[in-house]
Homo-oligomer: A and B are copies of this chain.
Amino acid sequence: MQQPNPVLSALGDAGKRLTIARRAVAEAITEQAGHFTAEDVLAASRLRRRAVARATVFRSLDLLVDLGLVERVDLPSGDHAYVACEPDAHHHHVVCSACGRSVEVGELGLRPILERIESSTGFAIDSHRLELFGLCPECRATAASKRSA
């Protein structure tokens, strides 16, 4: 059961060392259901045989962000969180405001809107962030059953 963690193999492909610390961070991340904070990763690593230093957690997360394996999200609360995601494809995240689960979505027709904005403002838009928040199907069901009780 040498299940190769996708995060680890991507690290390898990028010519980065596969250190103990990075393995621990990678594992901590892949076991997160939705978004997570640096602190979550730190806490998860402490539950393992070898704890990772705080600074290293941040360094690893930065690295993973550079590689596009993880993305930063700013929650409406103002907290900084991360989401694991597919590299190499521009996309956005829909985050459940109850449980934190997140799924990726593509552009789905945003392009024409961007063009409209460019022509109406005169800006040359070169990047954008779309963050969507709401209830995931599960939490929606839970909320509905609670309401009917």
Contacts and interface: CB of A to CB of B under 8 A. Distances in A.
Contact of A110 (B74, B113, B120, B127): B113
A106 to B, nearest CB: 9
A132 B136 CA distance: 26
A30 B3 CA distance: 57
Given A80-B78, A94-B121, A130 B133 contact: no
Interface residues of A, number: 38
A123 B135 contact: yes
A76 interface: yes
A33 interface: no
Contacts of A76: 127, 129
A126 B132 CA distance: 8
A113 B109 CA distance: 7
A128 B108 CA distance: 15
A125 B133 contact: yes
A109 B116 contact: yes
A46 B108 CA distance: 47
A130 B127 contact: no
A117 B105 contact: yes
Interface of A: 72, 74, 76, 78, 80, 94, 96-97, 103, 105, 108-110, 112-114, 116-118, 120-137, 140
